[in-house]
Amino acid sequence: MSRQSLVPPFAVITGTQVAEVLTGSEKQVVELTEEVYRLHGKGESVNPPSYFLRFPDRPSSRIIALPASVGGDRPTDGLKWISSFPENVAAGIPRASAVLILNDHATGYPFACLESSIISASRTAASAALAADRLSRGGQRPRRIGFVGTGLIARYIHHFLEATGWTFDELGVHDLSDQHAESFADYLGRRPGSAPVVVHPTAQELIEESDLVVFATVAAGPHVHDLSWFAHNPLVLNVSLRDLAPEILLAATNIVDDVEHCLKADTSPHLAEQLTNSRDFLDGTLFDVLEGRVELPADRPVIFSPFGLGVLDIALGRYVHDQLRDAGALGVVDGFFHELDRYGRN
């Protein structure tokens, strides 16, 4: 076998291609997300801690490396490299940008580079949709949803809920920026068959009027402290991780995607651990829920806090790659790997 045949072709996959593959495939993406959570829960993955590149001159910005390896029928290794620059929003461009590198499981050679902001948003939204479905108590999906934070992630979460059969009697939005709140409300109101949309002036009003609350902000620390806002025991998707004071979590049923990943970097669960010097407030992982190991009492809020697992990005990136490959639409870069002989004989 030649050296060239051992090395996989290297492809560059654009955001346009990613969007074309994923649009209309939301149910399959949620199913893939569940499959990956099960693989991860059974130990068929490697998901080391994320690595944060921070900047003394730009304290609000960061770039994060998420290395991961996922097993199953299509074992794949790789790395997501995603930046978060909140000041981008004022300039009219998205906060986050990302690329994803996929590596061949047998040789380690990278075989694809994908635009990954869409993959990252889609896997986040699919995880939220899966959790919302499995954490709905008594088989009854919430009918009133509220979004705290109205950016791209909020839009993707709503889209995935909508695409997987969710309907609502009312949609609420709240954002520190009135302009962003109104823009998101306008987007929601233009959706086919949309329910009434209410822009709430405060987070308190939105939370108290919602049965399903989605936090999708860039908050660096807790700004929601009053437990009485949650007296109606809503389901909370704590996607942005840092909005809730630890006291809120200590009075709730708490589900995370991965214990070790979620309890770090001053997330709300991490603050709760620091406050109590214990992890007893955690009731389990989403894998535990999928396996039927967790009871969800009706007399307290249920909070899902997902740190975001790199294995989800790797698996979804591989799905996009394989769909394009099977369609003959991969943009292969010929000759990308040049040195394929140890002693330069070729």
Phi, psi of 137 (to 5 degrees): -85, 145
CB-based burial, 206-227: b 16+ in 10 Å, e otherwise: bbbbbbbbbbbbbbeebebeee
Please state, in angstroms and rounded to a whole number, the distance separating the CA atoms of residues 80 and 311. 10
In terms of domains, do 170 and 284 share one?
A: yes
Q: Domain range for residue 99? A: 3-120+310-326
In terms of domains, do 139 and 191 share one?
A: yes
In terms of domains, do 218 and 322 share one?
A: no
| pLDDT tens-digit series, residues 99-150 | 999 999 999 999 999 999 999 999 999 999 999 999 998 878 999 999 999 9
Element (H, E) at 40: helix 26-41
Beta strands 11-13; 110-115: pairing state: parallel
Mean local confidence (pLDDT), 229-249: 98
Element (H, E) at 5: helix 3-6
In terms of domains, do 89 and 229 share one?
A: no
Asked, for residue 335, whether it belongs to a domain, the answer is no
Give the amino acid at 11.
Answer: A
Q: What is the CATH number of the domain that holds 93?
A: 3.30.1780.10
Residue 4 has a pLDDT of 54
The candidate with the shortest Cα–Cα distance to 123, out of 33, 50, 46, 35, is 33
Asked, for residue 339, whether it belongs to a domain, the answer is no
Please count the structural domains in the chain: 2
Asked, for residue 341, whether it belongs to a domain, the answer is no
| pLDDT tens-digit series, residues 159-181 | 999 999 999 999 999 999 999 99
Distances (CA, A) of 256 to 66, 202, 261, 304, 308: 18, 27, 9, 6, 10
In terms of domains, do 246 and 205 share one?
A: yes
Q: How confident is the model at residue 95 (pLDDT cuts 50, 70, 90)?
A: confident
Asked, for residue 342, whether it belongs to a domain, the answer is no
Please state, in angstroms and rounded to a whole number, the distance separating the CA atoms of residues 239 and 237. 6
| pLDDT tens-digit series, residues 264-317 | 999 999 999 999 999 999 999 999 999 999 999 999 999 999 999 999 999 999
In terms of domains, do 112 and 137 share one?
A: no
Asked, for residue 114, whether it belongs to a domain, the answer is yes
In terms of domains, do 139 and 81 share one?
A: no
How remote is the C-alpha of 6 from its chain's centroid? 34
| Helix extents (H) in 117-177 | 117-134, 152-163
Q: Please tell me the pTM assigned to this model.
A: 0.93
In terms of domains, do 116 and 139 share one?
A: no
In terms of domains, do 85 and 107 share one?
A: yes
Asked, for residue 267, whether it belongs to a domain, the answer is yes
In terms of domains, do 274 and 198 share one?
A: yes
Asked, for residue 246, whether it belongs to a domain, the answer is yes
Residue 38 has a pLDDT of 98
Q: Which residues contact 231 (CB under 8 A, 6 or more apart)?
A: 208
In terms of domains, do 87 and 133 share one?
A: no
| pLDDT tens-digit series, residues 208-219 | 999 999 999 989
Q: How confident is the model at residue 2 (pLDDT cuts 50, 70, 90)?
A: very low
Residue 98 has a pLDDT of 96
In terms of domains, do 206 and 288 share one?
A: yes
Q: What is the CATH number of the domain that holds 138?
A: 3.40.50.720
Asked, for residue 345, whether it belongs to a domain, the answer is no
Residue 1 has a pLDDT of 44
